Every structure is written in structure tokens, then in C-alpha cells.
Structure 1
Amino acid sequence: MSPEPDQEPHDDQQEISASQASHVLNSFTQFLTICIHNILFYRSIYPAQTFLTSRAYNLPVHQSRHPKVCSWIRDAVDAVKAQLILGVVERIAVVIHDKQAKVMERWMFDVANFPAWEGYKEVKGPRTIEEEEIAEGEAANTDGSTEGKVNWANVDEQLRATVRKLAYTGEKMTPLPEGCTFTIAVELRDEGAAPIGHPQPWIPTQSNLQPKNKDKQTSGEDVGGAKTTPLRMVEAGPLFFECWVEEGKAKEKSPTSNQ
């Protein structure tokens, strides 16, 4: 589904050049992928021996070795990316359920202040040094200054700090009951159109996980959780988003948490 030709960017969004948009969006989706794998590891959704240890942002990170898990996460992040390009996403959630489908935790990424991807053109694969120099030149102001350039070192440092805080928080939280599973959800802006069509990558969430909007005055009972732990606010160039984790009311009542 494509946006209307005369659609205006969200009030809180900032416009960036097409040459920067691809790199910024790819940086975020890579970061999101790393976070999802780390959440699965530190919350013991799958056995630790099914993960391999790698490095990202000069940090040790964990990645599932199971091909189907990796494929599912990759497809889910691609579906999120498609909605980010349209500018309709308010928040992204990694939701953990127990065997009875009760919400245990929601790992939240608030992207309401993301830049508008006007003129976005995807660049597949890593850029060469020459391509990076061209992109930086295009990002500079017409008077030759570099005010419009993105400080990628600062972006990577902010993302690095967020991954480290997420790992620390996930490791220290109370254990989850056995047999938990997870899914990925997006909360749309009020003006955002639902991603419907064929094939259908998204399905509506249950009412208990739907936030309030212009047609619904109250949030679902599991939105917000019983306890919220802030992770980090990222503010680096055109990237501005917040992360936190919500622990569900059902988790407080589970025997594992009471231990």
C-alpha cells in the first residue's frame, strides 16, 4: 500500500535527504534485528546452545542459529521496514507470551519521531567508500557546509549503548515461565492505514493489546503492563526513538516470578 501523493509528513518528523534515508533506515533495522535476537537469548525463549556469539557495535551479541527462526525474524523486520517507509508506525513491540497466550513482557521501540522518508530509495548491500563520500556530499548544505551531514559514529555509539542496556536489563529481569513464545507487533498512527492486502503479512492484535486511538478511548488491559523499565532514549542525527520494557500483569502472578 503506497501513501497518497500529497500526504504530508507527521508534525514531529524531520525530513532528510534521499541519500541519507537508506543508510538511516538500514542502520535502524539492523539494530532492531540484533535487539530481537538478544531478547530471545536473554529471556531464554530458546535454549542458549541454539545461539552463536558474534559482535556488533564492538559488543558481544547473540544470534539464533536456527534457520527458521532467523528467516522469520528477517521477514518480520522487512515487514516492519515497509511500514516505516510509509511513515505510519508509532511503536514497535516484541511481545512475549506464555503457553496460555498471556502477555509476559513487551519490549517497546517508540519510533513516532522518526524522519519522513521522502524520496526514499533502498540501497542493497554495504556502500563503497566512494558511495559514502557521494552521499555525504549530497547531504551537505548548498553553501558547502556540513551541517546537514549525519554523524554516523555518534549514531553507532548511541545504538551500541542501547544494545548494551537491553542485554543488561534482559539478563537481570526475573525469569519467564517455561514454554514462552514471541511475536512482533506494530502500533500504527491514528492516520495510518492498516497494512491489508495479499499476501497478508500482518494480522490485527487482540483487543487487550490495542492502544487507544480516535475510535477507542481506552487502551487494552495489557498495554503499559504492571511495571515499566526504561532502557534508553536515542537521539543521534535524524534518529530519535525511545526504548523500554513492560512486564505484564500475568507475569507478576506466575510462579516463576514469585520465586
Structure 2
Amino acid sequence: MPTHTTLDTYQGLVSTFADFLVVAIHTVLYERDIYPRASFLSARKYNFPVRQNRHPKVCRWVADAVSAVETELLKGTVARVAVVIYSSASQPLERFVFDLSSFPAVPPAEATTPFLENSATVSLVDLAEQFRGVMQKLAFCGSSLTPLPENCSFTVCIELKANEEAPIGQTSTPWIPSQPSLQPVSVVAGGAEGESSGLGGSGGNSSIGKDLGGVKTTPVRAVESGSFVLEVWVEEGRAKMNGPPVVTSG
């Protein structure tokens, strides 16, 4: 977190979210047993005990993926970020969704311009407390979600706002299209573990979007302080569970 006590620019919001996202990803990897628990170190963030994978390649991949997400966020094109867990057969089992659609719309050229309204300024003390609440919920997700099979993989995905152009081929980051089942008409991002994920066209596939929303959605927590508005939830997919769509209370 920055050393000052408030955030008053869009760039500050994005940087703070990116810092939080790194911690959240490592927490998900630990709680969902994507890697052996012995490969994680104990750490502390937001005055709360957290875990971080100690393997350099994992740490670098997560850092690079979040950096790529941060770049797209600064363009103002991202509506949601998701950590997607796949089975060994590449079926989406769970999506940890971070909804940023309520972030302010700021042109890239004005990312460092201070907000005009005092009500838009974000208190970092308040934000850290709310982030701690999210981490507490994520730390117990292993007991509230049904178990995953062995040999799962993961990726980091972005969902773009409507009518935004996919970043595929635009940067050095290897954004790639997700499978059609994770792409709504407005297009969503995804990819295989080890690659930062992007989005692409649907190609008219009839399976478009069938895995979005899953069959069970569990709210994690909403975060709101000034211009920083974030919602977090978990979706359990059809490949993992059977039955009609259900929304559980948070």
C-alpha cells in the first residue's frame, strides 16, 4: 500500500487494486490447494496473516499477470478480473471474480489527475480494513466450497467493458482468447496457466457463455471507499457441480 493516507487519482486506485490482487491470487492458490501447502510462506498484509507461494516462477507469473491487468485497467477498458481454476481436462471449475465495473471512467491521459470531489478521495486506512475483510472470507473459502479434484491449473482473466477492443496482438503481453464457454457476447478473457489471458471474438459458437455464472454463486464481500468500489464473488462451474443455478447468501 502507498505510504500516504488517501488516494485521489485513478492511477492510485489501479495501483492499490493491483497490490491487493497479488495477495488475493496467492490466497486463492493456497486455499484451493493448487500447489502443495508446504510451498507457501506465512506473511502478513492488511494486518492479517496471509500466504505467499515461495517458488520464484509462480511469484513471477503472478506478478507479470497482475502487471498486465494493471496496464489494461489504466486504459479504462476492464470491467472484471477473474482467477479461473481448471480441471486437468481444461474444464473451468471455479471463478473468483473481482468486479471493477463501478470504478470511475477516467481517460488514460488523466490517470494522474486528482479527483475534483472530496467524496471521491479514498481513505487507505478504511480500504485496508475492508481488504482485510475480503482476505478473511477468502481464507475460509476452502471450507465453504466443495473440494476440487487433483491436478488443477489456474489463470488470470479480464472481462472488457462493452465495445472495447481486445488487446490481443497489441502489446508484448501474450493475451489470448478464452474458450467460447467463458465469453459472453461482450467478450471475456481467459487462457491457460502460465500465460496472461486476454479475450477474443466468439466465432458464432453456440456454447458461448455457458460456463459464466456457474451453477452456484457465493458472494465474498463488497469494498467501497470513495471512488474505490469493488465486488468479489465465487462461481462454481457446471463441470464441478450439477443442478439448477443457485445463489447463496453471504
Query: What TM-score results when the alignment is normalised by the length of structure 1?
Result: 0.77
**Structure of higher RCO (CA pairs closer than 8 Å, 6+ residues apart):** 1
- Give 2:76's aligned residue: 87
Distance 1:233 1:19 in 2: 20
The answer as to 2:176 corresponding to 1:187 is no
- Give 2:172's aligned residue: 199
- Give 1:54's aligned residue: 43
SS of 1:170 mapped into structure 2: helix
The percentage of counterpart residues that share the same residue type is 43
- Give 1:177's aligned residue: 149
Q: Which has the higher helix share?
A: 1
Matched positions, count: 218
Mean CA deviation greater in 208-217 or 88-97: 208-217
- Give 2:139's aligned residue: 167
Distance 2:73 2:231 in 1: 15
Give 1:72 deviation, angstroms: 0.4
Structure 2 portions without partners, runs of 5+: 1-6, 188-201, 243-250
- Identify the match of residue 120 of structure 1 among 97, 111, 125: 111
1:164-211 deviation digits (Å, cap 9, x = unpaired): 112122343222100000001111112211103242420010101102
Distance 1:238 1:148 in 2: 5
Code of the aligned partner of 1:243: V
- Give 1:5's aligned residue: none
- Give 1:212's aligned residue: 185
Code of the aligned partner of 1:88: T
Distance 2:225 2:83 in 1: 23
Counterparts in 2 of 1:225 and 1:241: CA distance versus 1, 3 Å: same
Structure 1 portions without partners, runs of 5+: 1-17, 122-134, 254-259
SS of 2:148 mapped into structure 1: coil
* Root mean square deviation of aligned Cα: 2.5
Query: What TM-score results when the alignment is normalised by the length of structure 2?
Result: 0.80
Q: Which has the higher strand share?
A: 2
- Identify the match of residue 22 of structure 1 among 11, 36, 40: 11
The answer as to 2:239 corresponding to 1:250 is yes
Distance 2:208 2:74 in 1: 26
Distance 2:208 2:48 in 1: 37
- Give 1:8's aligned residue: none
Does structure 1 retain, via aligned residues, the 8 Å contact 2:83–2:156? yes
